[in-house]
Copies of this chain bind each other. A is one copy, B any other.
Amino acid sequence: MKKILNKPADFVPEMLDGLCKAYPNQLTYAEDIHCIVRADSPVKNKVALATGGGSGHLPVFLGYVGKGMLDGCAVGDVFQSPSAEQMLSVTKRIHGGKGVVYIYGNYGGDVMNFDMAAEMADMEDIKVKTVLVKDDVASAPPAEAGRRRGVAGMVFAFKVAGAKADLGGSLDEVVAVTEKALANTRTMGVALSPCTVPMAGKPTFTIGEDEMEIGMGIHGEPGMKREKLQTADQIAERMTTAILDDLKPSAGDELAVMVNGLGATPPEELYVIYRKVNQILTDKKLRVHRAYVGEFATSMEMAGASLTFMKLDAELKTLVDYPANTPFFKQV
């Protein structure tokens, strides 16, 4: 896969520089330490929300920094966790007096570093709580759901938490509703082609021209199984079934649905998938409260898609519908 690059080692800082130059009124970039925070940080008397993780997943993570969603993000190298020092720096920059919630994906490096940052923040009298995103049903069976990795479902967590915080929720309230959102969120994905980490210079994995990987992670972690490429309808059904078997909604339930492109897959194909997902849900008397179709959590130029459902109650519906305005996510 060809890339538009300068020196691979400069990829992340150059990307961050360009991004913050594109949205100078919305984002501030702390260059020395690769942190992105809202330009109006710290927002006083609001619970602050921080995330962090490796680069290469835009809009995840930093694309969701903005009004109605996150306050700040620690940016790692491509597919690499940021350091505890970066996370602490974000924490201090965004803290508005009501505490900070860390919301991020369940990856070893990230967890350890966020934990270290939380310990350091605690020493500076900033109250930090953590909500881990573990939505990928393909990464572990239900009995070991605690081991699951965090993928596109984190966007729903950002959305719900951001709305609750903007509405004046307390630290505990924001944590509680985000945990509720995630308890009701599941994701499943398929990959058709790999991506290339600039520093590595070669694809993260190889896959046959007629194959797909069911349940692949967003860094190219192998999934549940490799199979012959199926039709859009079969893939949609596959993902829908895997999620419903795990989430077990009841007829009449309302869902937020996200069909997410991993990078190279065009939106047209995502809508073909959505069509079938919508059909299956309608057949099962599940109602789509809101649909999100597009690129929300990517792996650079990987081809493939993921599907996320979040089961909604009245509170989650209000928070999902709440407006947001970030460089990558706008809801009116």
Contacts and interface: CB of A to CB of B under 8 A. Distances in A.
A109 interface: no
Interface string A13-54: 011111101110000000000000000000000000000000
Interface in A272-303: 272-276, 278, 291, 293-295, 298, 300-301, 303
Interface residues of A, number: 61
A205 interface: no
B4 A300 contact: no
A266 B300 contact: yes
A21 B274 contact: yes
Interface string A196-233: 00000000000001101000000000000000010111
A2 to B, nearest CB: 4
Contacts of A271: 14-16, 18-19, 22
Contacts of A270: 18
Interface in A1-16: 1-6, 11, 14-16
Contacts of A235: 4
A106 interface: no
B231 A272 contact: no
Interface in A128-171: none
Given A55-B268, A232-B5, A233-B6, A22 B274 contact: yes
A56 to B, nearest CB: 6
A332 B25 CA distance: 13
A269 B198 CA distance: 11
A330 interface: yes
A59 B293 CA distance: 12
Nearest to A301: B264
Nearest to A282: B21
A265 B4 contact: yes
B269 A266 contact: no
A271 B328 CA distance: 13
A242 to B, nearest CB: 16
A58 B19 CA distance: 23
Interface in A65-119: none
A303 B303 contact: no
Given A4-B265, A18-B275, A56-B266, 19 more contacts: A4-B272, A5-B232, A6-B231, A14-B271, A15-B269, A15-B271, A15-B272, A15-B275, A18-B276, A21-B275, A21-B291, A22-B291, A22-B293, A58-B267, A266-B298, A268-B300, A295-B295, A325-B332, A330-B330
13 contacts: A1-B303, A2-B193, A2-B229, A4-B235, A5-B232, A6-B231, A18-B276, A19-B293, A22-B278, A55-B268, A263-B264, A264-B303, A332-B332
